[in-house]
């Protein structure tokens, strides 16, 4: 791509930085671990925008021993000349003025992603110090910023030193940003090597040919060297879809890869078929995961359905008298990754991860339709075309059988009474926004929960056994399982294609299981079902993990509870004299009053909300943990298990 002059006058400024330190949550959501990584992504996003627009092909992240972090790219380098209006260098503008950058008018960046869009100045404002090194014209420039305390108040991200020329450099060009997050904002939170590794792997897949690395100077590998991961994928989305499906059984190893463009719009698409049931579509806009889908997914699905029906008729796989196959049937077993790059993105939805631009549907439909028709017209691709039509025909027959089974089950329920009688205890309140459903492991814990709850808004559904692992089961098998069936009817939403969140009877669906191996397995089974067949429950924030205490400490009639080992240590430090310590082996050991006090009472309990921000990693993890590949499951557990604490699906991958 030919380079244009990139100078300080190209930087557009939207003013205002004072509020960042005062209300960090408005800019980064939280000052916990998620917020800490958020300020790193702001810097990485700037480097990725250089790469996405063809100006850089390498980004290196280094976590230093003091929890500071460096991000270096070989892009054009932030402008160092003086802005004509603000009389400051481009570097100073980018790091001291909110929303300053070269991305607001689409002149310097054809495509701009960024997970958050509030700018590198927020990273500066929430750091103890930040240093920028710029390499341009064989010179190294350097400027330092800090957040000193002046008259008892923190001055956030102010200039410490002017932009100076350090000297000559062998580096042709680029930018390096190093910053130390402020403990006054983030407490003892530290950067997570695996979290960073996961995100840069995804970025490497989405931007083929770009090399991304992360090095952790705080820890070493088996050879005594700092932990390090480097990713570069020449195949891009083709490699990505193979990675996601690595633990699944394939219907065909072939990957359908399509790419195309129109004015200021680029599209890439990779499709592969497995023996799993249902579909998986993972989409991105300017490297941003769109976990709630949007108009780009709608356009893709419409084009795919039309193309395969046309192909089926041209090849006499569908007769004149036959009806067209619906899109759901063609997509059974499909894993698809769709990535688009565009300007003026409009997000909507509960978590702002749904693309809303109406014009995108027709653009995607046109590009995918044209490229897929070309692909299917080639003789070498006839095998995969025939396979997908066969899948569609078979799925159509299965869907009819499932519908009959579902209708029969509904009739049976109507004749014999509710399937919930005998195990489910409803609440008396009829306001779904206030109501909560506790899905509880075991009759003993269920009994305590029923007695200890507030009946006005809390319902209890005890599980009498482990629900069905739905990962490799047909829908008629799922609906036949008593535990799953009861959950579906209790929630009132139906499931899969008939799921309707407007009928949800409970604003919070809380999984309450023991903090042991069996409890973790039950949580994983339930979350897998919700993810596969009621995903909107998760995406709109209705699913929670209940966090009962692990320990009870009693001294002289005073009782305290600890929810993990760290909290226990803190409590015991303050206990003087003899005490009794009880470790709860299960929820059933608590009487109703204890369960209410520690786990059910909204004023005192701890809940963990389950989220899915990384759909690709969640997809791969679920298929690995819940699928049939024992070797892949063992490898995953070995790489990720922490045997010093109970680690749940939600704790590690959402929530």
How far is 404 from 200, CA to CA, in rounded Å? 46
Q: Nearest 10 degrees: CA dihedral of 306, 310, 316, 321? A: 60
CB–CB of 499/493 below 8 Å? yes
Which of 221, 518, 593, 635 is labelled catalytic?
A: 518
The answer to whether residue 373 is catalytic is no
φ, ψ of residue 470 to 5 degrees: the values are: -85, 5
Which of 42, 297, 329, 441 is labelled catalytic?
A: 441
Residue 524 token pair: 């994983």
The burial of 416, by beta-carbon neighbours within 10 Å (0-12 exposed, 13-18 middle, 19 or more buried), is given as exposed
How far is 210 from 541, CA to CA, in rounded Å? 34
Residues in the chain: 655
- Alpha carbons within 13 angstroms on the beta-carbon side of residue 24 total 22
How far is 135 from 123, CA to CA, in rounded Å? 21
Which of 400, 516, 565, 628 is labelled catalytic?
A: 516
The answer to whether residue 516 is catalytic is yes
Bridge partners (DSSP) listed for residue 270: 257, 337
φ, ψ of residue 632 to 5 degrees: the values are: -65, -40
Per DSSP, the three-state class of 502 is: helix
CB–CB of 296/360 below 8 Å? yes
How far is 614 from 392, CA to CA, in rounded Å? 29
DSSP-assigned letters across all residues of 304-372: HHHHHHHHHHHTTSS-TTSPPPPHHHHTTTEEEEEEEEESS--EESTTS-EE--HHHHHHHHHHHHHHH
Per DSSP, the three-state class of 227 is: strand
The burial of 406, by beta-carbon neighbours within 10 Å (0-12 exposed, 13-18 middle, 19 or more buried), is given as middle
The answer to whether residue 518 is catalytic is yes
The answer to whether residue 81 is catalytic is no
Q: What is the DSSP-derived secondary structure letter of residue 597?
A: I
Strands 153-154 and 211-220: unpaired
DSSP-assigned letters across all residues of 252-271: -S--EEEEEEETTEEEEEEE
DSSP-assigned letters across all residues of 274-322: BSSSS-EEEEEETTEE-TT-BHHHHHHHHHHHHHHHHHHHHTTSS-TTS
Which of 514, 614, 617, 619 is labelled catalytic?
A: 514
- Alpha carbons within 13 angstroms on the beta-carbon side of residue 327 total 13
Per-position b or e across 442-465, b if 16+ CB within 10 A of its CB: beebbbbbbebbeeebbbbbbbee
Which are the catalytic amino acids? 441, 514, 516, 518
């Amino acid at each position: 791509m030919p380079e244009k002059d990139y100078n300080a006058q190209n930087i557009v400024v939207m003013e205002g930085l004072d509020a960042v330190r005062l209300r960090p949550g408005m800019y980064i959501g939280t000052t916990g671990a998620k917020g800490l990584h958020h300020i790193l992504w702001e810097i990485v996003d700037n480097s990725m925008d250089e790469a996405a627009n063809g100006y850089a092909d390498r980004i290196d992240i280094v976590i230093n021993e003091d929890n500071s972090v460096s991000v270096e790219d070989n892009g054009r380098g932030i402008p160092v000349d003086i802005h004509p209006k603000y009389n400051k260098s481009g570097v100073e503008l980018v790091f001291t003025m909110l929303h300053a950058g070269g991305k607001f008018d689409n002149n310097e960046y054809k495509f701009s992603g960024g997970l958050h869009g509030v700018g590198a100045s927020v990273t500066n404002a929430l750091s103890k110090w930040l240093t920028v090194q710029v390499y341009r014209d064989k010179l190294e420039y350097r400027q330092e910023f800090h957040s000193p305390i002046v008259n008892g108040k923190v001055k956030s991200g102010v200039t410490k030193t002017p932009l100076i020329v350090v000297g000559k450099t062998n580096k042709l060009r680029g930018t390096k940003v190093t910053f130390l997050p402020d403990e006054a904002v983030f407490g003892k939170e530290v950067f997570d090597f695996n979290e960073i590794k996961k995100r840069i792997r995804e970025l490497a897949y989405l931007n083929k040919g770009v090399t991304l690395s992360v090095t952790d100077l705080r820890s070493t590998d088996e050879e005594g060297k700092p932990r390090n991961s480097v990713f570069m994928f020449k195949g891009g989305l083709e490699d990505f879809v193979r990675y996601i499906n690595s633990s699944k059984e394939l219907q065909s190893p072939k990957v359908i890869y399509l790419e195309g463009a129109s004015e200021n719009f680029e599209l890439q698409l990779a499709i592969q078929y497995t023996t799993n049931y249902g579909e998986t579509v993972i989409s991105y806009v300017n490297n941003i995961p769109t976990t709630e889908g949007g108009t780009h997914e709608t356009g893709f699905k419409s084009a795919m359905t039309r193309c395969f029906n046309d192909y089926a008729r041209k090849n006499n796989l569908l007769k004149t008298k036959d009806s067209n196959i619906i899109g759901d049937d063609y997509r059974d077993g499909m894993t698809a990754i769709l990535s688009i790059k565009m300007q003026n993105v409009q997000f909507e939805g509960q978590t702002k991860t749904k693309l809303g631009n109406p014009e995108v549907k027709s653009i995607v439909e046109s590009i995918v339709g044209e490229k897929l028709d070309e692909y299917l017209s080639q003789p070498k691709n006839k095998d995969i075309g025939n396979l997908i039509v066969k899948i569609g025909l078979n799925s159509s027959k299965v869907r009819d059988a499932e519908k009959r089974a579902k209708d029969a089950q509904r009739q049976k329920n109507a004749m014999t009474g509710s399937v919930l009688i005998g195990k489910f205890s409803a609440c008396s309140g009829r306001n779904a926004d206030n109501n909560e459903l506790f899905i509880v492991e075991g009759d003993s814990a269920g009994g305590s929960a029923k007695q200890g709850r507030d009946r006005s808004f809390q319902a209890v559904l005890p599980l009498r056994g482990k629900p069905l692992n739905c990962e490799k089961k047909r829908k008629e098998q799922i609906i036949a399982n008593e535990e799953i069936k009861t959950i579906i009817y209790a929630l009132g939403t139906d499931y899969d294609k008939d799921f309707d969140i407007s009928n949800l009877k409970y604003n919070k669906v809380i999984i309450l299981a023991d903090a042991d191996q069996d409890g973790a397995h039950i949580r994983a089974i339930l979350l897998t079902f919700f993810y596969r067949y009621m995903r909107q429950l998760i995406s709109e924030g209705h699913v929670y993990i209940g966090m009962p205490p692990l320990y009870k400490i009693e001294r002289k009639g005073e009782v305290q509870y600890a929810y993990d080992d760290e909290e226990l240590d803190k409590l015991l430090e303050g206990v003087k004299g003899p005490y009794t310590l009880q470790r709860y082996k299960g929820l059933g050991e608590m009487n109703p009053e204890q369960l209410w006090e520690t786990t059910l009472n909204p004023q005192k309990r701890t809940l963990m909300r389950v989220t899915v921000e990384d759909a690709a990693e969640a997809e791969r993890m679920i298929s690995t943990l819940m699928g049939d590949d024992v070797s892949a499951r063992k490898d995953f557990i070995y790489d990720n298990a922490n045997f010093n604490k109970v680690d749940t699906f939600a704790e590690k991958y959402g929530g």
